Amino acid sequence: MNERPSSVKLKQGQKHFIFLSKGLIFFHSVSLLPAAILLALLQTLVWPLFSFSPLLFAKNSYDVWRDKHYFLNENSPRKIFSRQTQTPESSVRVLPDSIYKREEITVVLIDSGLGGLSIMAEAASRLEKAKIYRQVNLVFFNALFSKEGGYNTLPTREARVDMLDRVLVSLTKKLTPDLILIACNTLSTLYPATRFSQTTETPVLDIIQPGVNLLSEQLTKQPEAVAIIFATPVTINEDTHRKRLLGQGIAPGRLIVQACPELELFIEKNPAGEETAMLISGYLDEALSKIPSGQQPVIISLNCTHYGYAISLWEKAAQESGFSPWTIVNPNSALIDLWIKPDIKPRYSRSKIEAACYSRVLIEKETREIIASYLKKVSAITASALLNCLFDPALF
């Protein structure tokens, strides 16, 4: 049997870091007061191992307890791929021709947080080149309902679905979109269960099937490879990606799933930060330790739209893991392909692109500036929309 690379073993700081968060799951589930006392004690004892407070990581740890399928595993040259042109099964299969015959179009992108803005930025850039509309109104609608936590913090799946329903109904009334893009894996897994999905006449595209198809393609190309699906706890708990891959004939033993609680929050804080790097490295090491046969090709699938902001940290963690070869799959661009086909022909000499951003929760100025610095590299108007985001507590 091949020896597992020693770098797969969690580094001491990472081990305590993740252990602390998992321990807090139990404390939160029993009683808030004892949890607070135990948390203070643990923080005092473990503090020297960290350059930042474990309280940051533990802020929403109780939602991990609620999502019991926290870490699921069916069988307890480096490349980055980002595109596969297919239509998602959970929303429309083919966009109506009327979408491409419009002179002006309003497209709303939703996400629970700011990951979906990276997709809006790429869409804006590609639309300027494609010139298929005279005017395009791109609107980012933040589906995050509270600064205290996202959809992971809601106690039941029904509550999550109901919240998403509220978001979809509200944005439709306020913005009357011609097309909706669900630029979020978590929300995409919930969308088929919404009442909105059964009654709307507005075309809706989600990101699940593009990601599944892209991962399936890589697994077919690399028959010896194992794939790791990295995502939020809700996305992992829904298990949509894995089930669809199994439905396409992928063997269960080739699929590992890894929840990454709180990672999107750290990425929004600083995509290149030390804490973000520690989390990514820790989650990758934990996932690699689940591979039963030791050394083999690894496909790293980033199934949260936030994760692309930190692509350099994923690459660094993969390089340091000791596993080779490895491939990173990022499906963000694949969602845009469902709408803006790579071979689509221009209809106008130029397109006027406008962008706006709406949020129910206040996004801190520092956060907006950090994420805008990434967006600006792709689309200045998307970066500007974030910097000038409109906040409305009654948005939905």
Give 190-212 pLDDT, tens digit per residue: 999 999 999 999 999 999 999 99
Distances from the Cα of 201 to the Cα of 17, 96, 188, 196, 218, angstroms: 47, 11, 18, 9, 34
Residue 217 covered by a domain: no
d(C-alpha 93, C-alpha 86), whole Å: 8
**What pLDDT shows up at residue 149?**
81
Whose structure tokens read 């071979």?
Answer: 343
**What pLDDT shows up at residue 292?**
80
Asked if pLDDT for residue 1 goes beyond 80, the answer is: no
> Average pLDDT in the 254-271 region?
97
Sort residue 355 into left (φ over 0), alpha (ψ -120 to 50) or beta: beta
Give 360-387 pLDDT, tens digit per residue: 999 999 999 999 999 999 999 999 999 9
Strand, helix or coil at 394?
coil
Average pLDDT over the chain, rounded to an integer: 83
Give 59-110 pLDDT, tens digit per residue: 343 333 333 333 333 333 344 444 333 333 446 668 999 999 999 999 999 9
Q: What is the CATH number of the domain that holds 162?
A: 3.40.50.1860
Residue 280 covered by a domain: no
d(C-alpha 2, C-alpha 38), whole Å: 41
The pTM of the full predicted model, rounded to 2 decimals, is: 0.80
Residue 81 covered by a domain: no
Residue 231 covered by a domain: no
**What pLDDT shows up at residue 17?**
52
Asked if pLDDT for residue 2 goes beyond 50, the answer is: no
Give 160-200 pLDDT, tens digit per residue: 999 999 999 999 999 999 999 999 999 999 999 999 999 99
Residue 120 covered by a domain: yes
User: Identity (one letter) of the amino acid at 153?
Assistant: T
d(C-alpha 363, C-alpha 390), whole Å: 10
Beta bridge partners of 109: 140, 181
Beta bridge partners of 204: 180
Its domain, for residue 385, covers 98-207+334-391
* CB neighbour class for 155 (10 Å; exposed up to 12, middle 13-18, buried from 19): exposed
d(C-alpha 84, C-alpha 213), whole Å: 7
**What pLDDT shows up at residue 170?**
98
d(C-alpha 280, C-alpha 303), whole Å: 13
Beta bridge partners of 258: 230
Residue 48 covered by a domain: no
Residue 286 covered by a domain: no
* Number of domains making up the chain: 1
Cβ(356)–Cβ(140) under 8 Å? yes
Give 278-306 pLDDT, tens digit per residue: 999 999 999 999 998 766 899 999 999 99
- Categorize the per-residue pLDDT at 18 as very low, low, confident or very high, splitting at 50, 70 and 90: low
Residue 151 covered by a domain: yes
